[in-house]
Structure 1
Amino acid sequence: MLNIAALLGDYWHDIDDLKAGLQAAISRLHYHESIDLQYITHEEVSQVLDDKPDLFINAKMAQLNPMDEQVIIWLTEDLDKKLVNYIKEGGSILAWHAGMAGYSPESHYIHMLRGYFVYHPPGLQQVIYMCKENEKSGEKIFFLTDEHYLVHCDAANTKVDLWSTSADGDSLAGWKHHYAKGKICCFTPAHTKDGMLNTNISSLLAGKINWTLFNQL
């Protein structure tokens, strides 16, 4: 049995939408019946990491209460260090959409990801996702009404496998690399339930999950 622990949902991202998107992706895997998927809260992350799941999916922004005057960050210094040890010992992390948002660029977590969310233009817009850089036509591209995540990424030290472009500019949308004995995947789309259930997004997310569990670069 393969164990996946998923931390989903926050102030801006509905947990039920994320569950639907994740389950749709996992159902694409031919071995999906051998996956034990556990949904966890941020309070449970430390204990779950002690149990060393095969994959930890983070689709939760750093701020628990982003609209309050005193903002609480769930990723404490101790938990930040624990995530590093989990990966170094052979664990895998998939940072999905909000799982790259609001975290300190100086945190161990972001250093491992080698990239993070910077901002997105207001609202939803047409975003072109490309599986090959600058290839805006052909079978390797698709269009999605989405938030366009504009990110910082240390592209020289990871393998970029998804690009994005919109009226507001170009960005990277997916990358992956090894970190010590573990694996890191980052995937920026999608914000809405419809976007997460989009066939292209679901297929790409399934591929990310498969890579973290089995494949090599």
Structure 2
Amino acid sequence: MGKHLIWAYVGDFYHKAEWAKAALEGALAVSIADGSVELRFAGDTEEFVAGLREKPAAAVLFAENRTDPERMHDKVWMTGKHAADIVRYVEGGGGWLAWHSGLASYPEEGEYAAMLKGYFLSHPSEHQLVRYTPAGSPGLAAEAFELMDEHYFVECREAETDVFLRSESVDGSSIAGWRHASGAGRVCCLTPAHREDGLADGTFRSLLQASVCWTSKIMD
């Protein structure tokens, strides 16, 4: 089996890049060590989208669309061309993991959200204990787990995708993970996690690993 290239862009104004990087490296540690996966991190969004021309096995996005949400709320990075390039890459056989903030503040009617079949709606101002429960059969989540987390509430076209994870807290319940084919490629969306302890959680990392491996076609 050849080496699978995974291309990632992680971190934004509200999400520390080093925490997400550690989570992704930890989740894929065995595959990186045995040489079956090469994990590359882009320094910025332009490098990330340009890297899709190399046709990686999968691309992972853990960053919202807004680049300066405190001072310039309307300033975003994803242009129409970026969205078209991403969709073209996936439909041509690539894999895409929209992880946590990779779902946030992208145009609800745009090509990117259409490919994901969903998008972030809101989260409560306070972190709460969130219980994540496997759904679907078979799904990517092997077991339920709990995190003190930023509970994401999402819009998801459930009838058009395979929901494999649900979330519940004192603030309500939502879909937390879903996956589907897009052309010749695969798309996976995953809403946990936000805090450093959640990103380091072993059960969550196993789910992250399974999500990347399914998206990149390392596993079915």
User: Normalising by structure 1, what TM-score?
Assistant: 0.92
The reply on whether 1:162 has 2:196 as its aligned counterpart is: no
Give the conservation status (yes or no) of the 8 Å contact 1:26–1:32: no
Give the conservation status (yes or no) of the 8 Å contact 2:145–2:204: no
In structure 1, stretches of 5+ residues that fail to align are 134-138
CA offset digits 1:56-108 (Å, max 9, x no partner):
10001000111123632111011111111101110110000000001011111
Give the partner amino acid of 1:206.
Q
Give the partner amino acid of 2:198.
G
In structure 2, stretches of 5+ residues that fail to align are 137-141
Give the conservation status (yes or no) of the 8 Å contact 1:20–1:193: no
Partner of 2:174, secondary structure, is strand
- Counterpart selection for 1:86 from 89, 109, 113: 89
CA offset digits 1:126-173 (Å, max 9, x no partner):
00110137xxxxx83221100100000001010000000001111010
CA offset digits 1:8-37 (Å, max 9, x no partner):
000000000011111111125487532111
Superposed, 1:92-103 pairs within 5 Å as 92-103=95-106
Q: Report what 1:21 is aligned to.
A: 23
How far apart in 1 are the matches of 2:205 and 2:82? 30
Work out the percentage of aligned pairs sharing the same amino acid.
36
Give the partner amino acid of 1:151.
V
Poorly superposed stretches of 4+, deviation over 4 Å: 28-32
Partner of 2:40, secondary structure, is strand
Measured after TM superposition, the shift of residue 116 of structure 1 is 0.8
- Counterpart selection for 2:191 from 185, 188, 203: 188
CA offset digits 1:191-211 (Å, max 9, x no partner):
012101101100101100111
Q: Report what 2:207 is aligned to.
A: 204
The reply on whether 1:124 has 2:127 as its aligned counterpart is: yes
- Counterpart selection for 1:46 from 38, 41, 49: 49
Give the conservation status (yes or no) of the 8 Å contact 2:32–2:38: no
CA offset digits 1:110-134 (Å, max 9, x no partner):
101011110000121100110137x
- Counterpart selection for 2:179 from 167, 176, 179: 176
Give the partner amino acid of 1:157.
E
| Equivalent residue pairs, number | 211
Q: CA RMSD in A?
A: 1.6
Give the partner amino acid of 2:173.
D
